[in-house]
Amino acid sequence: MDSKYWNKILLILRGINMYKDKKTQIATMAIVIILFTSTLLFCSGINFGPVSAVKKKTKKISNLESATTNNSNWTILTSPLDGNYEVGNYKLTSVNSPYIVVSNINLTDNSNLYIEPRVEIKFSGSYSFSFAGNVTALGTSASPIKFTSNKVSPNPGDYQGVNLGSDERTVDINYVIFEYSMGIHIHGNSSSKVTNCTFKDNNSNVLYSYLSGQIKYCNIERGINIQRGTDISYCNIRDNGIPASLATIFVMSSPFPQFILNNCNLEKTSNGYIIQCNNLGDSDITNNWWNTTVSTTIANYIYSPNSSSGIFNYQPFLTSPVSNAGPQ
């Protein structure tokens, strides 16, 4: 520090002695020390870091904001849902529910989607929701997740539908309600699970199962189209909903010919079949309730152009409804 500053300080200290009152001298001395220390720090160039304005959290896309949940980076979606989304980890939260879909939604493969309980996804028009990555949607009996119409007076087919997962990805959905759509497509590997879900008030041919995993404890109305070796148990499956076949369950020929259908309540509501299939190999459809105990009637509920396919392996069958079928 320059000598002229010391001279000024000495003059100030001498001036303090002009005060006869000791308290005044002490107070004045304290003020001088504070001013001197502040000046010294400023002149010595001590860096306290840059001072900048507080910035608001930026959004990757117009309706996204970044967040960190469970030690993983997630992008929390906010309503409305609109357009295509890049690869990432996405989360639908109950705080931001309901989510209004205002265009076709496409979330690419190699991504993760997590949906919290109580979330509602409402479609405002004939749009679809497609996600090809890993899907986790874990509702509860008291707080289910819902895909539905945004109309005041909804009708079956109000929106195109939902397409979840892919053959190589894992889908884990529990207590999810799908209603008023054209159809639901669910893909998934052998680790995938669809449990305690309800498919109701949808258009015909409602559920397309491309799962190699399990469908368990579900209510399925208006038909299920099985395209893989799915393991289905403890479900209520009713209503003829497959237009081309008038069947409740339609099984396509595919590289995965065998499927399992056990401990389910099966019912049709008009002319047609409960199960119609092509050449499937030895699929297991035993221990189900067919709404009858007459074996010849049950046989007439099943149609396969190839009787040697083994699809007629429906015995033994149950003589009363499965009491614990459907959401628990």
So what's the pLDDT on residue 166?
83
44: confidence class by pLDDT, cuts 50, 70, 90: very low
Separation CA 116–CA 96 (nearest Å): 10
Q: Is the pLDDT of residue 24 over 90?
A: no
So what's the pLDDT on residue 34?
56
9-35 burial, b for 16+ CB within 10 Å, e for fewer? eeeeeeeeeeeeeeeeeeebeeeeeee
85: confidence class by pLDDT, cuts 50, 70, 90: confident
So what's the pLDDT on residue 64?
38
Identify the CA nearest to 108 among candidates 147, 146, 163, 185. 163
Query: Do 295 and 288 meet the contact criterion of CB atoms below 8 Å apart?
Result: no
Identify the CA nearest to 239 among candidates 214, 288, 204. 204
Residue 30 in 3-state DSSP?
helix
Q: What is the pLDDT of residues 242-262, one digit of tens each?
A: 666 678 888 775 555 578 899
* pLDDT average, residue stretch 193-206: 88
So what's the pLDDT on residue 9?
55
Query: Do 24 and 44 meet the contact criterion of CB atoms below 8 Å apart?
Result: no
In the chain, domain spans? 3-44, 64-309
Residue 39 in 3-state DSSP?
helix
Q: What is the pLDDT of residues 260-299, one digit of tens each?
A: 899 999 998 777 788 887 665 668 899 999 999 999 999 8
Q: What is the pLDDT of residues 93-129, one digit of tens each?
A: 999 999 999 999 998 778 899 999 999 999 999 999 9
